[in-house]
Amino acid sequence: MPTLAARIVLTPDGVCSPGAVELDGPTIVSVAPAQGPVPDRVIAPGFVDLQVNGHDDVDVARATGADWDRLDELLLAQGVTTWCPTLVTAPLDSYAARLERIATAARREGARPTIAGAHLEGPFLGGLPGAHPPQLVRPIDRAWLDALPPVVRIVTLGAEIAGALAATAALAARGVTVAAGHTLATHDELRALVDAGARLVTHLFNAMTPLHHREPGVVGAALTDDRVVASVIADLVHVHPTALTLAFRAKGPAGVALVTDAVAWRAATAGPVRVQHHDGAPRLRDGTLAGSALTMDQAVRNVVAAGCTDLAGAVTAAATTPARVLGLDDRGAIAPGRRADLAVLDADLRVEQTWVAGEPAWAR
């Protein structure tokens, strides 16, 4: 049974320093203080990314064959062991083939990141589509939603649009996580969507009604409703460090999920959207932000270096909280009985190794 030791092991009960994690096959069997010298490194639970449109030169919407292996490698290199391939707004008849490709990729065996399911960011968005093609945003189609295959795990929709409450209740009853995003909803409309079963807000602060002292908007509702997890893009371009700090202080790491919202910026595409990378992020020609070039380990480093939260809080937001959003209680934490998905970081919080279900899957 392999044992990994480190100066810091991050557990649900706090920091074990120095610590040792013992594995038996795919499972963590013990976490205990280490004896003797240990490497100057950090062992964290494998990261869970709820929103990945692509990475580098591979677009999820176009991925076939070996593209999925390339995505695996890119994700493992940033410590991600579970993820949600994300499809942005597109014509309704284009989704079936893309979802089938995601489902096929999810069935592959081996030490690779788990595809927890697809995240549909649209096409049923609200009044702030951002980089999504506005001509493809459409009213809710309940028949289409009801026919979605089981591979769909998250649906982001506009909280203010007609039919949103009924659609949310139906999706939540099927075990799909409903997120509010790209929305002009009021504070009360967001609360109503949460009452109907929504449990996530997609990229807090971006493409939603802001906090105002007389109309708290989606931001105010999300920050104060403990039923809701707020995802954030911590590339320090989408959100100022002070706003990130506000999110962590208001909700705690258990209420914040770090996401990359990464796109295939090197291929200049995100589904039907053409992007160009400048001023720190992919953008449309008019400068509108269109996803990110962020990696999950960089997001962790960013929020720690900016003082938004401590290392334990950053790792909770990168692993534990998003795993809980997906209902995956077998991972996201280093504890006996949990799946041995691990990100081993060096003293600078850069990924040295990634383990998937007790197998070494990537090493620098």
Catalytic residues: 261
CB-based contact 159:134 (threshold 8 Å): no
Identify which of 75, 77, 59 has the alpha carbon closest to the alpha carbon of residue 67. Answer: 59
Question: What are the tokens at 3?
Answer: 């044992």
Using CB atoms within 10 Å of the CB of residue 254, give its burial: 0 to 12 exposed, 13 to 18 middle, 19+ buried.
Answer: middle
> Rounded to an integer, what distance in angstroms lies between the CA atom of residue 197 and that of residue 200?
10
What's the chain's Rg over C-alpha atoms? Answer: 19
Distances (CA, A) of 162 to 14, 132, 144, 145, 235: 45, 19, 15, 14, 33
Cβ atoms < 10 Å from Cβ of 7: 18
E-strand ranges in 116-226 read 118-121, 152-157, 177-180, 200-201
Amino acid at 265: W
- For 90, the token pair is 């597109």
